[in-house]
Structure 1
Amino acid sequence: MGSPPHSNHSRESSTSRFSSSLKPVGSTQILPNEDGSAARKKGRKIPKDWEVIEEEGLLYEQDNQRKIPRRCYVLAFVLGFFILFSLFSLILLAAAKPQKPKINMKSIKFETLGVQAGSDTTGVSTYMITTNSTVKFTFRNTASFFGVHVTSTPLHLSYSQLTIGSGSVS
């Protein structure tokens, strides 16, 4: 039993890539391992449009392209780190910026106000003012990141740069 007969219409699929039977008449055959210079040395003339295409060379050219050096990657990493760190620091600084609270005075009510004559510790005669008052106000913390600690502070009551009373808020 021999090989099956081949018809003319299946010739393209069964022929080799390097077969010269499909080439135009008058062309020379180029072997796959020969480049143009070896064929010229043997005395064969190769048409310019039939030069050998080095497909493997195209693959090697991608490997031979200049790659980025490792120190550029290190420099890019350090630069990126400082940029991200600076951005994070600016966000934290903006969130931690001290905000002034908003205080609205609702009312001040004086329950007692008394003026008396007396003397101080050195024996000089003075007038004394006694007062009992209530202050109502609203306090709003505008800072969203930190809370506010409110404590009692001393209170000084003055009239025309003269301190007329002092005490503490209870």
Structure 2
Amino acid sequence: MSETPTTTPRYRPVPFGVTRVSVREGAPGTRYLQAELPLGAYARRLSDFLVHWAEAEPERSFMARREQLGDGRTGDWLRISYAQALDGARRIGQALLDRKLSAERPVVILSENTLEHALMSLGCIYAGVPYCPVSPAYATISQDYDKLKHVLSTLTPGLVFAADGARYGRAISATVGSDVE
């Protein structure tokens, strides 16, 4: 016998943003859509949010992960505060600029979703250096590294970052040129 709920669940209204648009016809086959809700204030850069929260709540956790112990168990939480994330982004960003990395020589990130991966991404965003996370499978499952070679030849990176050098060392040695850091 199934139980019948005695009360109706309560739901909060969820703002969905743009729900109405105006449509203007253009050249044959062209339509222009414009939101009726005007665009609100927004930050100039994505990193502005990091700066804001580092000032407003410097010790609040920005990111965290569980420590992996040698026996396979999980340990304590390893956390990065907003202040630490901003400091890391600034330091990494400056190091990337010192290396003259750019759209022609971007950063390739070859790592799982780790705190180090996140900090490298934030450093790239903060400094305005393009970056591309690449699937770890291209370096760990593949034996010929064809997909990784294709990605690297297309992107022409100036730096390849791997949080775990032992895990990705063979693939990096086989695919990354000597002119890439």
TM-score (norm 1): 0.21
* Larger strand fraction of residues: 1
TM-score (norm 2): 0.20
* Larger helix fraction of residues: 2
Structure showing greater radius of gyration is: 1
